[in-house]
Structure 1
Amino acid sequence: MLAAWPAVAAVLFARLSPRRAIIWTLLAGYLLLPPVVGIDLPLLPPVDKNSIPALCALIGAMVMRDRLDLAWRRPEGWVMALAVVAILTPAVTMATNPEPLIEGNTFRPGLGLFDALNGTIGTALMLLPFFLGYQVMASTEGVRSWMLSLMIAGLAYSLPMLLEVRLSPQLNVWIYGFFAHDFSQSIRYGGFRPMVFLEHGLWVAIFAVMAVLSAAVALRETPRPARMRQMGILFYLLVVLVLCKSAASIIYAMLLVPIILLTQTRLQVRLAGILAVAVLLYPLAQWTGVFPTEAVKDLAGSIDPERGRSLEFRFNNEEILLERASRKPLAGWGGWGRNLEVDPISGRFTSVSDGYWIVMMTLGGIMGYVATFGLLCGSVIRLWLVARHRPVDRWTAGLSLIMAASLVDLIPNATVTPLTWLSVGALAGLAARGLPSPTDQPQAEPAALRHPPMRTVIG
C-alpha cells in the first residue's frame, strides 16, 4: 500500500482539481495507509504514511502549478528562520552528542553523520505539509475546501470507527496483519475505542475533533433551509467522538462547538491565539515551577480518578525528562533512546515521553522545540495579530480553533500529524497575505464540492 500510494495520488490528480487532489492525497493517505511501519531505504530515513503522501502531493502540486492559479510566494522571514533552525538542529545535535552512553549493561551509541543526515531529511519531510498549506491552502476557498474535506472524511471514517467500537480495534490486523499499539490501551470505560489505521485511539479522537469543529463551522455557513441536515451531521459526529472515549477530546469539542456557534470570529481567533501562546510557554512554566501541577492533578482526580492517575504519571515523567533535557539544553540528546532514562541493569526505559513538547525538548533541545513549536504556535499567533486589524471569515476562525485544540493536545500527547502541519501552514499563509475580507468569498459552492466523489477517494 505504501509503495502503491503514488499511483493512487496520480489517479486523484487526474480526476480532481489540483487543490482537492492535494487535500485527498494527504488526508486519505493519513487515514488509510498502515501506521508505525515504513519503507526503509538505504542511507535515508524510513518513508511512511506521513511522508509518502506529502511527497506525492508536492510532486503533484509542482506538476499542476499552472492549474492551481496561485502566486507562489516566498514565505515570511520568521517562517524561513524557524524552518532553517529546524533543518539545522539534527546537525547540531550530532555535533554535541558524539559520545556513547554506557550505563551498566546498557549501551547507547553516539551520533554520527548518518544520524545528522537522517534527521535533516526527516525534518524536511515533516515540514512538507506545512509549506503545501502555506502556498496552496492559504485562501478563504482553500481553507473552506480543507475543512469540508475534514468533515466528509470524518463521516466516512465514522463507519469503520463504529465497527471497531463494537468489535474491538481489528481492522489493521485484518487488512495489514499487525496491531499498531498495546491492545490494553484500546479498552476504556467498559468498552473499546477505535484505532482503525491510525497508531493509537488518541489520534482517532483528535481527528474526530477536527471533523466535529469543521461541521460546526459548516452549520454556521449553511443556509437556513438546509440547517436541519447539517445539525444532524454535527450531532452524529459528536456521538462518534464520545464513542472514541477520549476525555480530553470530548472536552475540546464541548467547549469549542458553542464558541463556534455563538461568538464572533474575531473573538474565536483571539481565543486561539491566547491558547497558542500558553502552549508555546508551557515548557518555561514547567521549568520554573509556575504551572499549577498539583492543582491540575487534584482537579483531574476529582472528575475521574483513573484520568487523574494518568495525568500524575505524565507530570512525573515530564519532571524526570526536563531534568535530563537540562543536561543537553541546546540541541538535545538525539535518537537511539538517548533522550530517555534507562535502568542500567535491565536495559529497560524507566521514563516515557508522551507529550510532543517533551519529545522535542529531549530529542532536539531548545533549538528543536523553538523551531517546531514556533511554526505550530506561531502560525496561530501570527493570524491573531493580523486579525486585530482585519475582519476574519468563519472558516479561517474555525480552523484557528481546531489548531488551538490540536496544540493543547500536544502537551499530554504526541498527536501532531500531517493534517496539523497543513492546517497551520494555511493559517500562516493567510496571515502573510493579509486575510482576505469575508466579502471576497465565492458566492456559490462549486458543484464538485457539494457532491464530492466519495467513491473515488475512499475506494
Structure 2
Amino acid sequence: MSPQAQLVMIAWLPVVLYLFRIFPAQRAVVISFIVAWLFLPQLAGFSFPGIPDYERMSATCYSILLATFIFDVQRFTSFKLGWLDLPMLIWCICPFASSITNGLGVYDGLSQTLAQTVAYGIPYFLGRIYLNNLTGLRHLVIAMFIGGLIYAPLCWIEVRMSPQIHRWVYGYLDARKFAQTIRYGGYRPTVFMQHGLSVGMWMATATLIGIWLWRAGVIKQVWGISIRWLVAVLLITVVLVKSTGAIILLLLGIMIMFTAKWFRTSFLQLLLIIGVSSYLYMGATGVFSSERIAQVVSGLATVVDQGRANSVGFRMHNEEMLSEKARQRMMFGWGGWGRNRIYVENWNGDLVDISITDSLWIISFGINGAVGLIAIFGSSLLPAFSFFWLRYPASSWFKPKVAPAAVLSVIITLYMVDCTLNDQPNPVFTLASGGIAGLVLKEPEKKKLKGDHTVVVKHSLAQHRQKQRRLTQIRS
C-alpha cells in the first residue's frame, strides 16, 4: 500500500461526513457507495482489533453508519424487520453456526459473522433504510449510469495501454492478476476494480440502465448530450471490455426489457430466477456428472469459441469435486480456513490444494452449506421476484416513476446469474437488493394515498353530521 493510498483511505471518512453535510441523506449514501466502488484503491486499508479490516467498502459502511448517527439518527428507528429480510439475516449469522458445528469455536464464529455482516449485511441494511422508495432507487440508478459514463474513457485507455491507471494514481498494481487481463489479443481493463470481470459487469449494467431509462423516457439528456448517443458509447465500451459473460447478461437484460414493453409480461425474468434456482439445486445435489458437463461444453462450443467453452467445462469439473466434499457438511458447510477446499498429497508427502473456486455459489455452499447458499441467493432473488409478483407487474415497468426500480430488479437477477459462474462481490448490487426489499415491504404509494383520502373523507363527513346536529338543536 502506497502513501497516497493510505492518505485516501484516511481521508475517506471525513469526505463521507461532508457528503452528508451538503447533500440529502439518500444522495449522500448513493454518492458514497458509487465513488468508493469505482475509485478507492484496491488492497489498501488498516487493521483494527475486534472489527473487520478498514478497506474501501467497509470504510464506506463504517463512515455512513457514523454519519447516520450524527446527522440522521431517526433513520435507524424507521427500520422494521420484514419477511424479505430473513435471507440476509440468515446469511449474516450462518458463519457462527458453521464455526460451531465444525468445532472452530465461538470466537471464530463471532469473527466470521461480523466480517460477513460488514461485507453484505450493512450494505443491504443501508439500502433498506435509505433507498426503500421509488425516488431513492431512481437516484441509485442514475448514479450507476453516470458512473458507467465516467468509467468509459478510463476503459478505453486501459484497452489500449493495458491496466495501468491504478498504478499511475496509487503507485502499485496487483501483478498476480495481470496475466488475466490479456484477452483476445488485447487487454481487458480493470481500472480501480479487483478484476476485469467486475468492470465488464459494471459497464453492462450501466448500458442496460441507459437503454431502459431512454426507452422509458426517464431522462433525455446528461451533461447536455442526448442519452441515445451516450448509450451508443456504453455499448461500444462493453464490447471493448472483452467480457463475454457480461455481454450475454446484457443481451438477456435487453430481452427481458423488450418482452416487458411489448408483451407486458415478466415471464423471462421469472424463467431466469427459476433457472438459477434449478442450477443451484442440481449443483448442490450432485446432478451434474462428467457426462452432463461434457454435453454442456459441446453445446456452448456452438455459441462461443472452444476456449471459452472449455473454460466453463473446467470450472464445472472443479465445482463437481467441491460440491461432493461440501455435501459431507450439507447444512452449514465446512466453515473457514480453507476447509472447504480439496487437498492431495504431492510426491513429497505435503498436502497441496488442487481446487479452484471461481463462483460465489460453490464458495458459499462449501463454507456455509445449503443454508448459506439458499440465504445469499435468496437475499437478491426473493426481492426481485416479489417486486414484479407482489407490487409492480411488467405492465408498469415503463412508467417513468417505476422504470428505475424495475431495471434494478432485473439487474440484481442478472447479478445472481453471474454469481453462478464468478465470485465478484459488488456491494452496490447488495445495496440495491436492500432497496428493492424495502420498496416491496412498504405499502405502495397509491394505496397509501387512497387510504389517506378515505380517512379525510370520513373525517369530513363526521364534521358535517356534527354541524347538522347543532343546527337542528338550535332550531328546536
Q: TM-score, normalised by structure 1?
A: 0.85
Deviation at 1:368, TM superposition (A): 1.5
Runs of 4+ aligned structure 1 residues displaced above 4 Å come to: 223-228, 265-270, 388-392
Whole-Å separation in 1 of the counterparts to 2:97 and 2:219: 57
What is residue 417 of structure 2 aligned with on the other side? 408
Aligned to 1:140: 134
Cα deviation 1:415-449 (Å, max 9, x = unaligned): 231111011111111111244459x9xxxxxxxxx
1:30 to 37, 43, 65: 37
Query: 3-state DSSP class of the match of 1:145?
Result: helix
Correspondences of 1:116-195 after superposition (within 5 Å): 116-125=109-118, 126-180=120-174, 181-195=176-190
What is the match of residue 329 of structure 1?
A: 330
Tell me, in whole angstroms, the C-alpha distance in 2 between the residues paired with 1:77 and 1:407. 20
Q: Which amino acid aligns with 2:417?
A: V
Taking the aligned partners of 1:391 and 1:314, their CA distance within structure 2 comes to 39
3-state secondary structure, aligned to 1:40: coil
For the pair 1:87 / 2:92, whether they are aligned, the reply is yes
1:231 aligns with 2:219: no
Q: Secondary structure at the match of 1:39?
A: coil
The alpha-carbon deviation at position 218 of structure 1 amounts to 1.7
CA distance, structure 2, for counterparts of residue 363 and residue 415 of structure 1: 17
The answer to whether residue 308 in structure 2 is matched with residue 307 in structure 1 is yes
Q: How many Å apart are 1:388 and its aligned residue?
A: 6.7
**Structure 1 22/223 Cα, relative in aligned 2: closer, same or farther at 3 Å?**
closer
Give the Cα separation in 1 of the matches to 2:14 and 2:270.
39
Aligned to 2:355: 351
In structure 2, what residue type is equivalent to 1:315?
M
Q: Contact between 1:242 and 1:250, CA under 8 Å: does it hold in 2?
A: yes
| Residue 57 (structure 2) pairs with residue 59 (structure 1) | no
Name the stretch that deviates more: 140-149 or 390-399. 390-399
Shift of 1:240: 0.8
Rounded to whole Å, the distance in 1 between the matches of 2:107 and 2:66 is: 26
Alignment CA distance shift 1:293-1:429 (3 Å)? farther
Q: Distance in 1 between matches of 2:237 and 2:73?
A: 40
Match of 2:101 among 79, 82, 96: 96
Shift of 1:325: 0.2
Equivalent in the alignment of 1:221: 216
Which protein is richer in helix relative to its size?
2
* Other-structure match for 1:289: 287
Is the 8 Å Cα contact of residues 332 and 369 (structure 2) preserved in structure 1?
yes
Judge conservation of contact 1:35–1:197 (CA < 8 Å) in 2. Answer: yes
Match of 1:378 in 2: 382
Give 1:85 shift: 2.3
Q: Which amino acid aligns with 2:362?
A: I
| C-alpha displacement of 1:277 | 3.4
Which residue does the alignment assign to 2:11?
Answer: 4
What amino acid sits opposite 1:82 in the alignment?
A: P
Q: Are the aligned partners of 1:266 and 1:387 in contact in 2 as well (CA < 8 Å)?
A: no
In structure 2, distance between residues paired with 1:356 and 1:391:
33
Report the CA distance shift for 1:436/1:165 in structure 2 as closer, same or farther (over 3 A).
farther
- Displacement of 1:86 in angstroms is 2.4
CA distance in 2, matches of 1:112, 1:175: 42
> How far did 1:78 drift?
4.2
SS at match of 1:263: helix
| Alpha-carbon offset, residue 290 of structure 1 | 6.7
Counterparts of 2:72 and 2:266 in 1: how far apart (Å)?
31
Question: Contact 1:283/1:357 (CA < 8 Å) preserved in 2?
Answer: yes
Q: Measure the CA separation in 2 of the matches of 1:129 and 1:58.
A: 10
- Identity over aligned pairs, percent: 27
Distance 2:221 2:47 in 1: 49
The whole-number CA distance in structure 1 between the counterparts of 2:261 and 2:380 is 24
Residues of 1 paired with 2:204 and 2:231: CA distance? 11
> In the comparison of the two structures, how many residue pairs are matched?
426
- Aligned equivalents of 1:160, 1:197: Cα separation in 2: 10
CA–CA separation in structure 1 for the residues paired with 2:367 and 2:43: 19
Aligned match of 1:248 in 235, 245, 251?
Answer: 245
Residues 271 and 66 from structure 1, CA distance in 2 versus in 1: closer, same or farther, beyond 3 angstroms? farther
| Gap runs ≥5 in structure 1 | 99-110, 441-459
**Whole-Å separation in 2 of the counterparts to 1:269 and 1:134:** 24
Which residue pairs with 1:316 in the alignment? 317
CA offsets per residue over residues 165-203 of structure 1, 9 Å max, x none? 111011222333333342111011110010011110001
Normalising to structure 2: TM-score of the pair?
0.82
1:112 aligned residue (105, 114, 128): 105
1:113 is displaced (CA, Å) by 3.2
Q: What do residues 97-151 of structure 1 show as CA deviations (whole Å, max 9, x unaligned)?
A: 23xxxxxxxxxxxx33332122111121121111111221121111111110001
How well do the aligned residues superpose, as a CA RMSD in angstroms? Answer: 2.7
Aligned-partner Cα distance in 2 for 1:356–1:364: 11
